[in-house]
Amino acid sequence: DAMVIQNPRYQVTQFGKPVTLSCSQTLNHNVMYWYQQKSSQAPKLLFHYYDKDFNNEADTPDNFQSRRPNTSFCFLDIRSPGLGDAAMYLCATSRVAGEEQFFGPGTRLTVL
C-alpha cells in the first residue's frame, strides 16, 4: 500500500546531541511537510518542500534543518536539541499543495 513511513518511531537523545529523523513516501507526491506537535496541541508547521523548493516558516528555529535528497525521502535534522524540542514530529505529503495531506505515524522525540 502507498504510504508515508517515519523512522524511528521513538527517538531518545541527549541535550545538545544532534539527531536526524527520516520520512519516506511511496505516494510520489510533490509536496512534503514537517510538523512539530506537542502534547494536546495542534500540529505546527516547521517547513515544507514543493519538489525541491524549500519553504521555511518564519518562526522555525535555526536549530531545525531539513533535507530532501529526492522525491521519496525527507529528513529533519535537529542540530542541538533542547528540552523544549521534545515532541511528536509528523511528516506529511500531498499531491497538490493545500489539498489533502497524508501523514506518517510520527516520531516521538525525547530529550534527556
Partner 1 sequence: SQQGEEDPQALSIQEGENATMNCSYKTSINNLQWYRQNSGRGLVHLILIRSNEREKHSGRLRVTLDTSKKSSSLLITASRAADTASYFCATESNFGNEKLTFGTGTRLTIIP
Q: Is the peptide bond before 8 cis (omega within 30 degrees of 0)?
A: yes
Q: Which helix (H) or strand (E) holds 21?
A: strand 19-25
Neighbours of 111 (CB within 10 A): 19
Q: Is 98 helix (H, G, I), strand (E, B) or coil?
A: coil
Contact flag: residue 5 with partner 1 (CB under 8 A): no
Indicate which single residue of 21, 25, 74, 104 sits in contact with partner 1 (rule: CB under 8 A): 104
| Residue 6 CB, nearest approach to partner 1 (Å) | 8
Of residues 12 and 15, the one with the C-beta less far from partner 1? 12
Q: Which residues bind partner 1 (CB under 8 A)?
A: 4, 6, 31, 33, 40-45, 48, 50, 55, 88, 90, 92, 97-106, 108
